[in-house]
Amino acid sequence: MSQAAPPSTRVKLAVLVAALGYFVDLFDLVLFSILRVPSLRAIGITDPDKITAIGKRLLDLQLGGMLLGGLAFGMLGDRFGRLKTLFGSILLYSVANILNAFVTEVWQYEMLRFVAGFGLAGELGAGITLVAEILPTAKRGIGTTIVAVVGLCGAVAAGVAGKYLAWNHCYLLGGVMGIALLALRVGVSESGLYEKARSDAGGARIEQGGARAEGTVEKAAIHRGNPLQLLWPPKRALRFALVILSGMPIWFVGGVMFVFAPELGRAMKIAEPIEPARVIFWAYVGVVLGDIASGVLSQKIRSRKKTMIGFLVALAVSIVLFFEIAPSGPTHFYAMMCLVGAATGYWAIFVTTASEQFGTNLRATAATSAPNFVRAMAVPITSIWLLLKGTADAPGLDPVRATVWLGVVCVAIGVFAAMHLDETFDRDLDYYEH
């Protein structure tokens, strides 16, 4: 397909399926942030400290499942194809969420959050890898932005569902939408680059240094979907670490500010309780707007790297403004949460960059595992936050101050990592890692 050729019907369908898959993915992923309190109360947990502690454990299990699932589905995506991985992921998390509607004890909730997290891990990376590989270089940023924006609307929809539906009905809705999405699998084509990599597996062109370079091509056997390749040689491991750290501030916001918004509202002495469903709704309205802006900006300036750095700086400013303005009342709180969400809107660019940083034989592994490593970073981040703020029996820093300082540190690390990433906007993705 030439650079100027319009996308074919099959390409459009692939983008649609990846986008709707991410819609259901985000709907299910953020449901726990919304349903944490009512669902735990429904199964008999009423003490506020226990709700916070058990909620943290359930979140850790979901994110731990996503970390392991990211590695597993990424490996499967490079070995068996992007499409099989995409649909297998959707099936697994859909079934887990349907079953989640019927839990009556904490251990059941824990098990299903882990399984759902494991399944949720595979959808985004497989979808983004498929879209990035089937679209021409000049248009792949547009395609991945469409996937991210449609997907993030799933989080907004979850906010609406959480406000008007019972907690168990929300889980049922998410699971049923995922099962229904599998009907669209007919007619979606596999990535041509993946098919080429599979046929070249016995001996193929290897690009030295992780990018195409004249005079450096040799014949060698290639390995598909080996996660250990992300750890060696050291330059590749560093590249993978920089990708993860550049996205980590997004899940400081998602893991602390979005999930524990009710606790932050109480710490700010806002009289009216902060509603998790409204937090998620307004926060992800901001995220959607931010993702549209980051996608358009990266296309206009032809740079993923500069766009990410710009949004990280905006995130630091928005966090400071949040804690200056949000204590004025719930309306200000939700409005500023929308602003913070918009500043995390470089997620579309981040996942695109993760797919572009690695060769075809390792692309799905990297693109699937990197976002889930970022999500899993919420486990140590929230642990540090809880340690800093302490408990009623062992108080620590004021929760507001703890959040500000931790946020500034996370953003500073993200800026440093983004500055040291390679620019990938114009990179030809037809190469292999050796």
Residue 311 is assigned to a structural domain of this protein: yes
**Distance of alpha carbon 27 from alpha carbon 23, whole angstroms:** 6
Strands 217-220 and 204-207: antiparallel
Which residues pair with residue 217 across a beta bridge?
207
Q: E strands along 6-164, which residues?
A: none
- CA distances for 260 relative to 116, 295, 307, 410, angstroms: 21, 29, 28, 17
- If one counts the domains in the chain, the total is 1
Can you state the angle between helices 378-389 and 399-419, rounded to 10 degrees?
Answer: 150
DSSP 275: P
Q: What is the pLDDT of residue 433?
A: 72
DSSP 395: B
Backbone φ/ψ region at 211: left (φ over 0), alpha (ψ -120 to 50), beta: beta
Decide: 191 and 212 in contact? Cβ < 8 Å.
Answer: no
Q: What is the pLDDT of residue 88?
A: 82
The CATH number for 252's domain is 1.20.1250.20
Residue 426 is assigned to a structural domain of this protein: no
**Distance of alpha carbon 311 from alpha carbon 288, whole angstroms:** 14
Residue 137 is assigned to a structural domain of this protein: yes
Residue 389 is assigned to a structural domain of this protein: yes
Span between the terminal Cα atoms of the chain, in Å = 27
Which residues pair with residue 395 across a beta bridge?
390
Q: What is the pLDDT of residue 378?
A: 81
Whether the model clears a pTM of 0.75, i.e. scores above it, the answer is: no
Smallest CA-to-CA distance from 30 within 284, 210, 315, 226 is with: 284
CA 112 to chain CA centroid, nearest Å: 19
**Distance of alpha carbon 201 from alpha carbon 431, whole angstroms:** 13
DSSP 219: E
Decide: 293 and 145 in contact? Cβ < 8 Å.
Answer: no
Q: What is the pLDDT of residue 409?
A: 93
Residue 244 is assigned to a structural domain of this protein: yes
Question: How many Cβ atoms are within 10 Å of 169's Cβ, its own excluded?
Answer: 12
Residue 194 is assigned to a structural domain of this protein: yes
Decide: 348 and 26 in contact? Cβ < 8 Å.
Answer: no
Domain of residue 277: give its range.
9-419
Residue 432 is assigned to a structural domain of this protein: no
In the chain, what's the furthest Cα-to-Cα distance?
68
CA 184 to chain CA centroid, nearest Å: 23
Instruction: Determine the length of the chain.
Output: 434
Q: What is the pLDDT of residue 358?
A: 84
Residue 425 is assigned to a structural domain of this protein: no
Radius of gyration in angstroms for the set of CA atoms belonging to the chain, rounded to a whole number: 21
Amino acid identity at 8: S
Mean pLDDT by 10 residues, the chain (434 residues): 54 82 83 85 87 85 84 76 77 90 92 90 74 78 83 84 90 90 67 63 46 45 67 87 94 87 88 87 90 89 93 94 92 95 90 83 79 83 82 66 89 95 83 71
